[in-house]
Structure 1
Amino acid sequence: MAEIDHIVVGARTLEEGANWIEAQLGVRPTPGGSHPGIGTHNMLLGLGPETYLEVIAPDPGQPEPAHPRPFDLDDPSVKLMLEAGPHLLAWVARTPALDAVAARLGASQGGEVRAWSRGDLTWRMAFPSQRQDMRNLIPPLIQWDDGRGAAPRLADSGCRLLALEAEHPDAAQVQSAMRQRGLEESLKVRQSPHPRLVARMRRPDGTEIALSSG
């Protein structure tokens, strides 16, 4: 069974992303680190013992990676969007059976399983291809090597992810993809002319806001 691991906010730089999150949620994310060979680095915000928010940006301290950066950070349309400011880009779901799920979905839908690391954290991820990710509404799958991941290591910010929602012209296809991954309870899907991911959040002061990909 898969479940929400974290949500992903993209930014041109980590400083811009951290400033934006602090303005939106009232709490500043903490430094994470660099992803060697991936071309990115991040900052993190704990949302409780099982979930967190990741701010990710191109890492100027790394050479250009062999593969495109994750979450479409190298896509011209995403780069243009981030010129205007940070945005919610995607979400990631964790599973204890990544190889089995990826094999069942097949390479075209499940993506290639690749190893990642940051400091002493190691994990593997499978990203669906751009043709299959339905504008990042279909999450990459992650399996943490220690079985726990990043969330338990983070200080609790007091913020909470209340709900994750998707809007898409073909809502039935999104729902089908969720069922294939055991995620039908994790994402509320509704019909809409324009694809959009929405994360409904509660700040430490109890007020509620929404972060959106569009």
Structure 2
Amino acid sequence: MAEIDHIVLGARTLEEGAAFVVQHLGVKPKPGGRHEGFGTHNMLLGLGRGCYLEVIAPDPEQPAPAHPRPFDLDDPGLRMALEAEPRLIAWVARTPVLDAVVARLGPRAGEVKSMSRGDLSWRMAFPPQRQDMDNLIPALIQWQGEGASSRLPDSHVRLLQLEAEHPDADAVRAALAERGLEDVLKLRRSPHARLVARLKRLDGTEVALSSG
């Protein structure tokens, strides 16, 4: 069993990411913290029970990590895109049985890494690069204790639908199905890969955030 845990907005800086969220969703995300050793920090926006939006950016106060930052933040193409403006870059799915999923998927699941921020702790498995279908296949997370969403005030912004487009939609569908996520995304074939999150603001306005 797996379900959406959060969507990820990449930004060059947290200040730019927060301004983008205010512009498009009408509310400012709350400070999160540092991911020590991973070279990133974040801000968070509660989207109701069990779901949130994460704004993530390189942390200038941390040394460059020994491994690439998560969600392709060190990729030259993405870094160039984020120079223009923040954008949706990924999503993360929550599972209570991460070890069982990883054992079943083998190398396709990626390496499990332990992470923490303050007194929050969790384990994540990021799909290997070039097997994540342009970040359409989510990282899997298992929280150790309560998750981040339980501590966030409700912004009253709601995630209505998560959509994906990819030239090989069948391969994306199969990869999602083996993670128990076949019904989570609205998926269609398209010449270009793209992730789209459709959200509703407090005032009822619907907004689409996209990876491209």
TM tier, shorter chain? over 0.9
Q: Matched residues in 2 for 1:102 and 1:205: separation? A: 41
Q: Quote the residue 1:190 is aligned against.
A: 188
Q: Quote the residue 1:83 is aligned against.
A: 83
Q: Matched residues in 2 for 1:5 and 1:213: separation? A: 18
Unaligned runs of 5+ in 1: none
Q: Quote the residue 2:174 is aligned against.
A: 176
Aligned residues: 212
Identity percentage of aligned residues: 71
Q: Does 1:15 align with 2:15?
A: yes
Q: Deviations over 1:5-55 (max 9, x none)?
A: 000000000000000010000000010000000000000000001100000
Q: How many Å apart are 1:131 and its aligned residue?
A: 1.4
Q: Matched residues in 2 for 1:136 and 1:34: separation? A: 22
Q: Deviations over 1:88-139 (max 9, x none)?
A: 00000010011110111112x1000000000000000000011110000000
Q: Matched residues in 2 for 1:178 and 1:83: separation? A: 31
Q: How many Å apart are 1:62 and its aligned residue?
A: 0.5
Q: How many Å apart are 1:66 and its aligned residue?
A: 1.3
Q: Matched residues in 1 for 2:16 and 2:150: separation? A: 25
Q: Quote the residue 1:100 is aligned against.
A: 100
Q: Quote the residue 2:130 is aligned against.
A: 131
Q: Cα RMSD between the aligned structures?
A: 0.5
Q: Matched residues in 2 for 1:11 and 1:209: separation? A: 18
SS of equivalent to 1:19: helix
One-letter amino acid matched to 2:135: N
SS of equivalent to 2:67: coil
Give the TM-score of the pair, scaled to structure 2: 0.99
Q: Matched residues in 1 for 2:84 and 2:103: separation? A: 39
Q: Deviations over 1:45-99 (max 9, x none)?
A: 0000110000000001101111100000000000000000100000000100111
1:42-57 equivalences under 5 Å are: 42-57=42-57
Instruction: Point out 4+ residue stretches in structure 1 off by more than 2 angstroms.
Output: none
1:103-114 equivalences under 5 Å are: 103-107=103-107, 109-114=108-113
Q: Matched residues in 2 for 1:5 and 1:66: separation? A: 27
Q: Matched residues in 2 for 1:10 and 1:95: separation? A: 23
Q: How many Å apart are 1:204 and its aligned residue?
A: 0.6
Q: Matched residues in 2 for 1:135 and 1:207: separation? A: 28
